[in-house]
């Protein structure tokens, strides 16, 4: 199918049908904002959609609940490591249930049929990894039956139920994943409402000339989400890509009655995250991402022999320390090597402790740790068919006297590690170098 034909079919499909709307914590921070959310929902119901809404806990609620759990677990000097995570999930999941009930009440007061759904009522079946469960199956037959009666479903995000009938939670940002999973089960579009009005070419707080993208591919969004963009949770984008769920990033703070709420193709004013074939004109580079949450660790003078990398990264994996960029440099004599890699800042002390414990097996001379680094990434599906993207990145940074400490690439991404002090300069320079500041 040609791309133009696919786009026409897409435009026709999104106008009316089932719709999942997800609202984050800042969008439902108090009852007045919940009323605003209800007006967004009412607009879509009046347009003829069958609507399911997925909500997060009110802003700050989850942190407060976690604090109470920690306080309760420490009573009498108990060890937090022995915390019953099943009860943790039971407490922490209550925040979303409060929001879903309040939104259902507001919708009913506005004259709409609505009911709240906890994750276990749908049910949204998950693994039993409490605190970070994975969704296994969504059974929504009853919800669909209620749609036919004109009812709006308001589901508590972030939660599900395990095989042993215990409440589970999906980890931070899990409401995005809940919404996409529900949309996949309902064969629906998914609109993610947040405090920004779309996906930008880079962080507008750093580069005022950053532009909002009207469309972006799943692959690009996945890279942006994993490389520091906070608009969507990585797991939700992965799920959307697998099940081809069209995602739309929108702002809940725009007036629900604004004419801007529906674009020419019916997709609204935000950014559409969709399959590559639904993007008519693909840019070589679509965005610049950055992450300051990086630390560099160098393991010096290890024996250059088979198995040494496994001896380093095996214990780190066992300790749940995620490793990102990896660079190995062999010495001139060919006998030893330096292995450098990055971890999240919060994991640096734990990573060093793990390596020190494994020193006998690894056989290194010393460890050097540098927390003051940043990762800068250039992302774009057009990179698959265009040469010179990497060389332009390297030249641009060189022209600004920014030293590159490590490099990693994929088919649609180039990431470099630099001194954190140069983060904003690098982002602005690269944004301009690839023409992203031009309409």
Mean pLDDT (whole number) for 162-188: 94
Average pLDDT value for residue range 3-26: 65
More confident residue, 265 or 298: 298
Q: Are residues 252 and 347 in the same domain?
A: no
- Largest Cα–Cα distance of the chain, in whole Å? 79
135 and 253 belong to one structural domain:
yes
On whether both 23 and 105 belong to a single domain, the answer is: yes
Q: Quick one: pLDDT at residue 278? A: 74
pLDDT of residue 16: 54
pLDDT for residue 13 is more than 50:
no
439 within some domain? no
Over range 243-253, report the average pLDDT. 91
The verdict on 227 and 326 lying in the same domain is: no
**pLDDT value for 15:** 47
Q: Are residues 121 and 266 in the same domain?
A: yes
Both 255 and 302 in a single domain?
no
Please check the confidence at residue 14 and state whether its pLDDT lies above 80.
no
**Do 261 and 302 belong together in one domain?**
no
pLDDT of 29 higher than 90: yes
- Reported as half-sphere exposure (CB side, CA atoms, 13 A), residue 395 has a value of 8
User: Domain check: are 202 and 320 in the same one?
Assistant: no
pLDDT at 261: 59
What is residue 233's predicted lDDT score, i.e. its pLDDT? 83
- Residue 383 has a pLDDT of 84
Regarding whether 307 and 250 lie in a shared domain, the answer is no
Last residue of a domain, one of 259, 278, 297: 278
The CATH number of the domain holding residue 210 is 3.40.1160.10
Range of the domain at 81: 3-278
Both tokens of residue 275?
A: 């399959």
Report the pLDDT averaged over residues 283-295.
88
24 and 168 share one domain: yes
209 and 323 in one domain?
A: no
Average pLDDT over residues 8-22: 65
pLDDT on residue 172 = 80
- Residue 35 domain-assigned (yes or no): yes
Q: Do the Cβ atoms of 323 and 315 come closer than 8 Å?
A: no
- Mean pLDDT of the region 289-303: 90
What gap in Å lies between CA 286 and CA 146, rounded to an integer?
Answer: 41
pLDDT tens string 355-373? 999 998 898 889 999 888 9
Structure tokens at 226: 């994993």
Q: Please give the Cα distance from 309 to 249 (Å, whole number).
A: 41
Q: What is the CATH number of the domain that holds 404?
A: 3.30.2130.10
Predicted confidence at residue 410, as pLDDT, reads 85
Q: How confident is the model at residue 277 (pLDDT cuts 50, 70, 90)?
A: confident
Contacts of 178 (CB under 8 A, 6+ apart): 22, 54, 119, 124, 135, 155, 157, 158, 159, 160, 170
* pLDDT surpasses 80 at 406: yes
pLDDT in tens, 72-107: 988 765 555 578 999 999 999 999 999 999 999 999
Q: Which of 46-55, 197-206, 305-314 is predicted most confidently?
A: 46-55
Residue 101, SS3? helix
Does residue 255 sit within a domain? yes
* C-alpha–C-alpha distance, residues 293 and 279, integer Å: 32
Q: Say if strands 50-55 and 152-156 run parallel, antiparallel, or are unpaired.
A: parallel
DSSP conformational letter for 78: -
Average pLDDT over residues 266-291: 79
Q: Report whether pLDDT(346) > 50.
A: yes
Cα separation, 282 vs 385, in Å, equals 11
As a whole number, mean pLDDT of residues 113-130 equals: 96
Q: How many CB atoms lie within 10 A of CB 178?
A: 30
Asked which of 278, 312, 333 is the last residue of a domain, the reply is 278
CB 400 within 8 A of CB 429: yes
Residue range 105-119: mean pLDDT, rounded:
97
pLDDT reported for residue 81: 59
Give residue 224's pLDDT.
85
Q: In the structure, what pLDDT confidence band is assigned to residue 150 with cuts at 50, 70 and 90?
A: very high
Which whole number is the average pLDDT over 373-385?
Answer: 88
Residue 303 CA to residue 314 CA, distance in Å, equals: 17
Q: Are residues 143 and 227 in the same domain?
A: yes
Task: Give me the DSSP letters along 120-131.
Answer: GGTTEEE-S-TT
Percent of the chain whose pLDDT exceeds 70: 91
More reliable by pLDDT, 368 or 7: 368
Please tell me the predicted confidence (pLDDT) of residue 265: 43
**Radius of gyration, alpha carbons of the chain:** 24
pLDDT of residue 22 exceeding 90, the answer is yes
Tokens standing for 172?
């931070």
The two three-digit tokens of residue 235, written as one number: 């797991």
Q: Which residue has the tokens 């010179």?
A: 388
Instruction: Quote the CA–CA distance of 134 and 170 in Å, as a whole number.
Output: 6
Among the three residues 253, 278, 303, which one is the final residue of a domain in this structure? 278
313-342 mean pLDDT: 87
- Is 438 part of a structural domain of the chain? no
Q: Which two tokens stand for residue 335?
A: 């006998």
For 105, 154, 270, the CA distances from 35, given in Å and listed in that order, are 10, 14, 21
Mean of the per-residue pLDDT values for the chain?
88
210 in any annotated domain: yes
Q: Which residue has the higher pLDDT, 56 or 282?
A: 56
pLDDT of residue 105: 98
Two structure tokens written together for 99? 């929001």
Phi first, then psi: give them for residue 335, nearest 5 degrees. Answer: -95, -35
Q: What is the pLDDT of residue 284?
A: 85
- Total domains in the chain come to 2
């Amino acid at each position: 199918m040609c791309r133009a034909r696919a786009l026409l079919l897409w435009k026709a499909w999104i106008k009316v049908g089932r719709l999942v709307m997800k609202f984050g914590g800042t969008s439902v921070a108090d009852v007045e904002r919940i009323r605003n959310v209800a007006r967004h929902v009412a607009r879509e119901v009046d347009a003829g959609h069958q609507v399911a809404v997925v909500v997060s806990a009110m802003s700050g609620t989850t942190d407060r609940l976690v604090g109470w759990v920690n306080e309760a677990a420490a009573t009498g000097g108990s060890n937090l490591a022995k915390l019953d995570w099943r009860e943790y999930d039971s407490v922490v999941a209550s925040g979303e249930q409060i929001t879903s009930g309040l939104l259902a009440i507001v919708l009913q007061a506005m004259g709409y049929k609505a009911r709240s759904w906890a994750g276990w009522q749908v049910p949204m079946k998950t693994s039993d990894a409490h605190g970070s469960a994975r969704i296994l199956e969504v059974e929504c037959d009853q919800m669909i039956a209620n749609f036919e009666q004109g009812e709006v479903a308001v589901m508590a995000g972030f939660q599900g139920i395990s095989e042993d009938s215990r409440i589970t939670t999906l980890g931070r940002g899990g409401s995005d994943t809940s919404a996409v999973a529900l949309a996949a089960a309902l064969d629906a579009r998914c609109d993610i409402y947040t405090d920004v009005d779309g996906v930008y070419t880079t962080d507008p707080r750093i580069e005022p000339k950053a532009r909002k993208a009207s469309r972006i591919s799943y692959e690009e969004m996945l890279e942006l989400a994993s490389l520091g963009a906070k608009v969507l949770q990585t797991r939700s984008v992965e799920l959307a890509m697998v099940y081809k769920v069209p995602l739309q990033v929108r702002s809940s703070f725009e007036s629900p009655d604004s004419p801007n709420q529906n674009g020419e193709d019916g997709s609204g004013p935000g950014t559409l995250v969709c399959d590559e074939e639904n993007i008519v004109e693909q840019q070589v580079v679509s965005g610049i991402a950055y992450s300051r949450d990086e630390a560099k660790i160098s393991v010096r003078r290890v024996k250059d022999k088979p198995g040494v990398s496994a001896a380093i990264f095996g214990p780190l994996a066992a300790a749940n320390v995620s490793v990102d960029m990896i660079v190995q440099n062999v010495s001139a004599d060919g006998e030893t090597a330096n292995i450098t890699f990055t971890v999240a800042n919060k994991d640096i002390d734990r990573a060093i402790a793990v390596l020190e414990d494994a020193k006998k097996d690894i056989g290194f001379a010393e460890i050097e740790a540098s927390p003051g680094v940043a990762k800068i990434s250039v992302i774009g599906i057009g990179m698959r068919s265009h040469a010179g993207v990497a060389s332009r990145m390297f030249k641009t940074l060189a022209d600004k006297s920014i030293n590159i400490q490590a490099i990693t690439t994929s088919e649609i991404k180039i990431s470099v590690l630099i001194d954190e002090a140069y983060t904003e300069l690098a982002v602005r320079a690269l944004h301009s170098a690839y023409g992203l500041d031009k309409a």
